[in-house]
Structure 1
Amino acid sequence: MSQSFTAPRDPAATPAAIGCTGLDYSWPDGQPLFQGLDLAFGPGRTGLVGRNGSGKSTLLRLLAGELRPDGGTVTAAGRVGHLPQDLALDAGLPVAEALGIAPVRDALLAIERGDTGEQNFALVGDDWDVEERARAALDRIGLGAVPLDGRVGRLSGGETVLLGLAGLLLRRPEVLLLDEPTNNLDRDARRRLGEAVAGWRGVLVLVSHDRELLEQVDRTADLRDGEVHWYGGNFSSYRAALAVEQEAAGRMVRVAEADLRRQQRELADTQTVLNHRKRYGQKMSDNKREPGIVMGQRKRQAQVSAGKLRNQQQEKVDGARERLAAAEAAVREDAAIRVDLAAGQVPAGRTVLALTGVRPVRFAEGVRIDLELRGPERIALTGGNGTGKTTLLRTIAGELDPLEGGVFQAVPLRMLPQRLDILDDRLSVAGNVARFAPSATDNEIRARLARFLFRGGRADQQVATLSGGERFRASLAALMLAEPAPQLLILDEPTNNLDLAGVAQLSAALAGYPGALLVVSHDEPFLAGIGLTRRLRLDPAVGLVPDRVEE
């Protein structure tokens, strides 16, 4: 039987909750994100969705007290735990310290050694079983073999996320804020996390692009344009409601377009009538059939009447345009990344990469890895957390030297790492691409960036201000537009930090990429959509073996 993570509460206490009133917050460049936002999350599981750059992570950081709002208040009833999407722990940090139990554990050890100082008992308080609880928490999330005295640097990216979650649960929060918690997690870890979410009894706010995880929520909050729109039910219910909403929005656009065309025709007809009247009046004046004073008065009256009629009709056209703009604003479009890299094309059968008897750093003595990649192959590299997938990718990319064996790179290659740390935060998006393509003109860079949805002024946005998904697009643009054009693209957990629209954009981008791919990902729907030719699983005991999708 699986164990559930629970947030213990005193039944007589005020129900746990978190929210904000009149919240104001602006980006570092002064662009407002939230203006007077009122929001409340009560008991139960809420999925917080929205496009990259909509402010989901920022909202969680504001609620957690890690950012200070420009105005308004944030209130919480109960202890708050926050797991950020870009969790970074010092590699030299002991596991016990990362869990937050080091001071209490040290005091316990001191008492066991005979040090009965008052400060040790004060530190322990009622937490005499902290070490047992820590080991139990680690065991529940699949880290039972990790020693409390071990170092964080020995853990993989996915294991680090799980360690951060275990530390939160040990603090027993009543309010849990999770930001993309499945990043870097393998299949088993995702299953364990899903069980944790399903069994949560406190307040849970979940930001995720993982559809299976979002199926566990009780309600969905869609953040867009600085406001939250509520939908009852899980992700499937949300998508169904959104489809109905968008169908209605599409009908409103068609009605508004028809109304605008009608109003424009009536304006044109009105102008035709006025022109006819003007010509008739001029003809009467030329024939001088009436006294000049009478003709002048009639002309002035006609001009006033014509002006009013024309203004009235123009107001109707302007009103129709406003209604069309409002209707169009309700229609959500997920623009697609377009990639056209003829220089990156790889002929079928050409050797792209070869590994012969490679033993990467930290791999066991008997492990040897052989791999040959030919033509525009698309290979998924899978395996559990901590098996060394990232280490192998870094070895292939030339960032790490193998302990034994050789790596033969036959074509230009580029690697996109998990942490997206290839960009200079001080430069703009365009400035970063210029670093990778020094011979390209500014106009060429901007034209290419438009294909990655950085149009106009967005190409000048400083990288430090980008959201996780925007940073990913900028990193992908820098690599794909690099000189020489990469004929092998290595991606390490590329769907991390991407919203659902972003995953679709990435899939479209890879569909247009003519080179070879080597992808590490635990996102099965994503892998199923990029046209894989092979799946290989990294087994730390034997090396690479054929993989199959688990049913």
Structure 2
Amino acid sequence: MAKPSTNHVSLTLHGVTHQLPDGSLLFSDLDERFDARHTGLVGRNGVGKSVLGRMLAGTLEPSSGRCLRIGKVRHVAQQISIDSQQTVVDLAGLRPLFDALRRIERGSTAQPDFDIVGDRWNIHQQLQQELAASGLEHLGADTLASRLSGGEAMRVALCGAFLSAADLLILDEPSNHLDREHRKALIDRLRRWSGGIIAISHDRALLESMDCIVELSNLGLQRYGGGYTFYAQAKAQEREQARQQLDHLKAEKRREERELVQQRERLDRRQSRGARQAATANQAPILLGLQKSRSESSAARAQARIEESRRAASQRVAQAAQRLEDDAEVTLLLPEVDRHLPDTIVEFAAELPHVAARYRHIEFTLKKGQRLALTGPNGSGKSTLLKLLATDSPPSGARRVISVKAAYLDQSLSLLDSGRSLLEQMLALNATSDEADLRSRLALLGLDEQGIRIPVRSLSGGERLKAALAHALYTDDPAKLLLLDEPDNHLDLAAIQALESLLRQYRGALIVVSHDETFLNRIGLTHRLDASEAGWRTSAWT
């Protein structure tokens, strides 16, 4: 397999700016240099990470500024586009190489064909080896891409990237559609890659394997040495320093406000005294007019200085608050629902449809105090199981007993009416809570006054998930069992951490599907129901 050369690879940003169609700036004046080090690119959703990735790859030009590239770059987008005619070779980005090789085999002596092939005469074998290493040995070069699942399509695209002989790979959310085992395999493969990497990701295990982290925020790009743990510690220190600075500036602003009030009072007294003296003075009208004009001009300048001091103090506080990003703790206000849980919450037995024979039969019981993760490879029936638990009409022959109210949060959060505001929906669900109480609860969840009054479809992914939890839990009869299907998918790091906090606070029963072991480890689970080669097996969480 061709090895990339990493001696001189670099991507350098000089004053890079991206302007949106409405004229607003997504980001501006970015300066940074990426080299052969494996780099994680992080930031909140909507800040422009994918756009920046395309600019670094050369598929999108900046509105202003320059991006200088040294070395061959390969970009794998977050969403893999597939049309009906594409094959595995097309998805892997190897079509030009395969076509050139085929023409040579048919007798072509054209130099461009030999230039394309180079020394890669065994690319057919290399592709099959890479596919097999990614668990895709059942695929061939000519397999139609339309037959692939989202996870399979991403793995094929990654195989093509590893075979591309690029000097640097730009991978946009490469683990999003992968199950736990394939996420681990991807991280191992990235560690073995000798070229540079820019991984746009919220996957903390993947980020931990990086040499450094670069964060894109409304303040620009900030580099942190080390993997995710180092980055998280550095961010925590920055937040604490920012909090201290903000507290100091607020106290200083209050002191300055008091002094400005005193200055204003002194100015008013001088003006009043001057007016009284002028009224009793025996001077010519023209002299009195000049004196009054000078007094008013002096007062105006003094007032302007006071207002400028006030604006400057407010600006310093605002800038400090901007440096301290919105990371307020979220709070879930609920009655102690665990006090009212029965001893047995779920009893379930069924034959799952459309899965391999070893995954077909499933039988389990969920007891009071248990919080369960459903894990296993893609296609083993995890989402199907949640749907069967959520439906009031289980299939024939299934045994389904759920003794508490359950709320099902599927991947599309369909329990929400996307065209209505959250507040409107919450008022319809609550006969005993007034609007002020609901607004307070939603504010503690991190949903502001504006957000709860606009259509749900306009909220961010993290906000919609909080809205769905509120819909399920902030009612006269809150759910005592949550069924969550990959709730952490497509959330940024801040939103994932907020979700972890909320689920730790929730004292009811929980059944959750996720491929992110870091997430699962942080939400207080007690058991795992895993789809293994031997079928479904329950074990204590470790």
Length-normalised TM-score, structure 1: 0.77
Partner SS state of residue 33, structure 1: strand
Partner SS state of residue 373, structure 2: strand
Structure 1 distance, partners of 2:148, 2:397, is 23
1:528 aligns with 2:521: yes
Which residue matches 2:168? 175
1:200 to 193, 196, 199: 193
2:4 to 3, 8, 28: 8
Structure 1 distance, partners of 2:421, 2:127, is 43
Structure 2 distance, partners of 1:163, 1:399, is 39
Shift of 1:501: 1.5
Paired residue total: 529
1:324 aligns with 2:317: yes
Partner SS state of residue 267, structure 1: helix
Shift of 1:223: 0.7
Give structure 2 stretches of 5+ with no counterpart. none
Partner SS state of residue 364, structure 2: strand
Shift of 1:136: 1.8
Shift of 1:164: 2.6
Which residue matches 1:271? 264
Which residue matches 2:205? 212
1:413 maps to a residue whose letter is A
Shift of 1:545: 2.7
Which residue matches 1:474? 464
Structure 1 distance, partners of 2:265, 2:212, is 56
Q: How does 1:41-440 map to 2 (within 5 A)?
A: 41-67=34-60, 69-87=62-80, 95=88, 98-100=91-93, 116=106, 118=108, 125=117, 127-144=120-137, 158-225=151-218, 227-281=220-274, 284=277, 288=280, 301-340=294-333, 347-349=340-342, 352-364=345-357, 367-374=360-367, 377-398=370-391, 405-408=398-401, 411-417=405-411, 420=412, 422=414, 431=420, 439=428
Contact 1:359–1:367, Cα closer than 8 Å, also in 2: yes
Partner SS state of residue 481, structure 1: helix
Cα distance, 1:60–1:379 mapped onto 2, change above 3 Å: same
What is the Cα-based RMSD across aligned positions, in Å?
4.6
User: More displaced, 346-355 or 205-214?
Assistant: 346-355
Shift of 1:177: 1.0
Cα distance, 1:213–1:370 mapped onto 2, change above 3 Å: same
User: More displaced, 199-208 or 181-190?
Assistant: 181-190
Contact 1:37–1:226, Cα closer than 8 Å, also in 2: no
Shift of 1:108: 7.9
Shift of 1:479: 6.3
Q: Which has the higher contact order (CA 8 A, sep 6+)?
A: 1
Which residue matches 1:517? 510
Give structure 1 stretches of 5+ with no counterpart. none
Cα distance, 1:59–1:262 mapped onto 2, change above 3 Å: same
Cα distance, 1:318–1:542 mapped onto 2, change above 3 Å: closer
Q: Deviations over 1:30-61 (max 9, x none)?
A: 53202343443222212212222221122213
Partner SS state of residue 334, structure 1: coil
Structure 1 distance, partners of 2:515, 2:210, is 21
Partner SS state of residue 220, structure 1: strand
Percent of aligned pairs sharing the same letter:
32
Partner SS state of residue 209, structure 1: coil
Partner SS state of residue 174, structure 2: coil
Cα distance, 1:53–1:335 mapped onto 2, change above 3 Å: farther
Q: Deviations over 1:304-363 (max 9, x none)?
A: 444433433333233222222222222233134454566998931176543224333223
Structure 2 distance, partners of 1:35, 1:154, is 41
Shift of 1:284: 4.9
Cα distance, 1:423–1:300 mapped onto 2, change above 3 Å: same
Q: Deviations over 1:267-299 (max 9, x none)?
A: 22223333443554566567x475575777665
Contact 1:54–1:226, Cα closer than 8 Å, also in 2: no
Q: Deviations over 1:415-437 (max 9, x none)?
A: 322xx48599xx9x664869987
Structure 1 distance, partners of 2:426, 2:291, is 71
Partner SS state of residue 221, structure 1: strand
Shift of 1:169: 1.3
Length-normalised TM-score, structure 2: 0.79
Structure 2 distance, partners of 1:374, 1:451, is 30
Contact 2:6–2:195, Cα closer than 8 Å, also in 1: no
1:209 maps to a residue whose letter is H
Partner SS state of residue 340, structure 2: coil
Partner SS state of residue 357, structure 2: coil
Q: Deviations over 1:58-85 (max 9, x none)?
A: 2213333555544455453333322333
Q: Deviations over 1:344-397 (max 9, x none)?
A: 989311765432243332230784211233557421112245544334334444
Shift of 1:458: 5.4
Cα distance, 1:75–1:224 mapped onto 2, change above 3 Å: same
Contact 1:18–1:42, Cα closer than 8 Å, also in 2: yes
